[in-house]
Structure 1
Amino acid sequence: MKQNKYDDSGFFAKYSQMRRSIGGLEAAGEWPAFRAMLPELRDKKVLDLGCGFGWHCRYAREQHASSVVGVDLSENMLERARANNKDSGVEYLQLAIEDIDFAAEQFDVVISSLALHYVEHFDIICQKVHHCLKPGGAFVLSVEHPVYTAMAEQDWYYGPQGEKLHWPVDGYQNEGARLARFLDNDVVKYHRTIATHMNALIESGFSMNKLSEPQPTREMLDEIPGMLDELRRPMFLLIAAVKN
C-alpha cells in the first residue's frame, strides 16, 4: 500500500507547521543519535529514502558527499525540498519507496528517516537496499519504535484528572497495519517487532553495527514543555547496518 497523504493540501499544511518541519534536523529529537550512527559521507554516493523536505540530503552534501539522490512519493515534499536546497549535486525523484529499482552497487550509503513504518513489506526494501549498496556500504534508518506503534491509538492511558498514567502496549506480536491518527488524519502505519526489523536486515545480507532508542537531549528537556514524558517510553528505533 503506497501512501501519499502529504499531497493532501490540508494535511501538508499541518505537517509544515510541525517543529521539525520548520527547524529542520536540529529540531528533530532523534537527530543527534541518528547523526552519530552515520558513516563518513565525504566523497560518498548517498540515497535518501523518504527524503521529505530534503534535510538529510542537504546535510549529506554539507558533509561533502559526492552526490545524493532523494526519493519521495509526494510532489509537495519534493517541491519544498528543491526550494530549500538548490544544489546540482542532489537529484530528487518522485517515486514510492516500494518502487525503487537502482543499479547494483550504485550507492555507498542509504539512509531513511521515519518513513519505513509507512511501508508494508520491510523485508523487500531491505533486499532492494542491499542490491543497490556497494559491499561494505551502510544502511542507517529510523522508524517509530514498535512500543509506540503496537497500538493504533498511539496515546497515553490517562487518569481521572487527565494525568498520563502509563503508555499501554498490547498486541505487540500481532504485526501488520494500524490505522493511526496523525495531524487529525487517518494514516496507515505498519507495526513490526524489533526482532522482525533485525531479522529482515540479517536475512537480506546485512550485519548490525548499532541500535539506538534515543532519549530527548538535555536542551529539549529544558526548552520544550512536556518533553519529560518522552523519557517514559521509547518513540524511535534507529538501526545502523552494513552490507556484508
Structure 2
Amino acid sequence: MPDQNIYNDALFFEGYSKLRWSETGLNKVMEEPAIRSLMPGLKGKRVLDLGCGFGHVARYVRKMGAADVLAVDISDRMIEAARQASDDPAILYAVTAMQDIEPMPGRFDLIVSSMALHYIDDYAGVVAVMAESLTAGGSFLFSIEHPIFTSLLQGWVVDSAGKRLHWPVDRYHEESERHYTWFVDNVRKYHRTVATYLNTLTDNGLTIRRVLEPEAQPEFLAERPALTDESRRPPLLVVSAQKFG
C-alpha cells in the first residue's frame, strides 16, 4: 500500500500548520529536545531528512554545521512550505514518498526521521534502504508515536466530570493499520510493537545506541501544567542506531 498523503488534505494541512508553527504540540516540549540530544556531531555531515514536513530538522542540522541535506516528504504542500521557510542552497527539498526511495549506498552520514515512520506500512523495507544508504559509522535517528499511544488511538478514559483516569492499551501485539480522527476523519497510522521497531534495525545490521521515551522539559511545565499528564504514559519513542563496518 502506498504511503498515506494526509498532509495534502486541505483541512488537515491547515490544522496541522497552526499546531506546528504555533509550537503548541509536543514537538517543541518533548520531541525536538530528545532527538537533538541524540544527534552526532554534525559539522560537514551529509544528512537525509526523511519525512521532512516543514523542514525543521533540515534547517537545524544546517545551523549545526551539516554540509548538505536532502529533505523529502510525500506532501507537496509540506515541501512548498519548507522551501518558503528557507533559502539555503545546501538543502535540497524533494516530493518523494519514503517507500519510493531507492538505495543510495554510503550516501549519508545521518538519516533523521521526525514523527513520520508510523504513517508507512512497509517499515522493514524503509529501514533496509536506509541502512544501505548510510556510510560506515553513520547514524539512523528517528522519533515516532509510541506503540502504547498507537495501540488503540481512542485517547484518555475519563470520568463523568471529564477527569482523566487512565490511558487504555489494547490489541498491542496485533500489528495493523489503525484509523482515528485528528483534524479530519480517517487518518491512517500503522501500529507496531516496540520489539518490531527495534529488532528490524538489528536485522538490517544496525546497532541500537539509545532509546528514549521523553517527558516534557521542565521549563515548559510552568507554562503548560497539563503536560504533567504526558508523564502518565509515553506519547513518543525516540531511537538512535548506528551502522558499523
The letter for the 1-side match of 2:68 is S
Q: CA shift at 1:23, angstroms? A: 3.8
TM-score (norm 2): 0.95
Q: How far apart, in 2, do the equivalents of 1:173 and 1:102 lie?
A: 30
Please tell me the residue identity of whatever aligns with 1:193.
Answer: T
Equivalent-residue separation in structure 1 for 2:220 and 2:163 (angstroms): 21
1:135 aligns with 136
1:22 aligns with 2:7: no
Matched-pair contact (CA < 8 Å) for 1:29–1:220: no
Q: Distance in 1 between matches of 2:161 and 2:22?
A: 33
Contact 2:29/2:216, CA 8 A, preserved across alignment = no
Distance in 1 (CA, whole Å) between partners of 2:42 and 2:103 is: 20
Instruction: Report the equivalent of 1:195.
Output: 195
Q: Which residue number corresponds to residue 208 of structure 1?
A: 208
- RMSD in angstroms over aligned alpha carbons? 1.4
| Residue in structure 2 matched with residue 120 of structure 1 by the alignment | 121
Q: CA deviation digits over 1:58-109, x for unaligned, max 9?
A: 0010011010000101111011100101100000110001111142111110
- Distance in 2, matches of 1:112 and 1:234, equals 19
Q: Does 1:152 align with 2:153?
A: yes
The residue identity in structure 2 corresponding to 1:216 is A
Residue of structure 1 in register with 2:243 after alignment: 243
Q: Structure 1: which amino acid aligns with 2:147? A: P
Amino acid in the other structure paired with 1:206: L
Say if 2:131 and 2:243, in contact at 8 Å, map to a contact too.
Answer: yes
2:228 is equivalent to residue 228 of structure 1: yes
Q: CA deviation at 1:128?
A: 0.3
For 1:149 and 1:227, locate their aligned partners in 2 and report how far apart those are by CA, in whole Å. Answer: 19
Total equivalences in the alignment: 242
Counterpart code for 1:69:
L
Q: CA deviation at 1:138?
A: 0.2
Aligned to 1:88: 89
Q: Secondary structure at the match of 1:93?
A: strand
Unmatched tracts of structure 1, length 5 or more? none
Q: CA deviation at 1:185?
A: 2.7
Alignment of 1:1-20 (within 5 A): 1-18=2-19, 20=20
List 4+ stretches of structure 1 deviating above 6 A: none
Q: Tell me which residue corresponds to 1:55.
A: 56
- Contact 1:141–1:240 (CA under 8 A) maintained in structure 2: yes
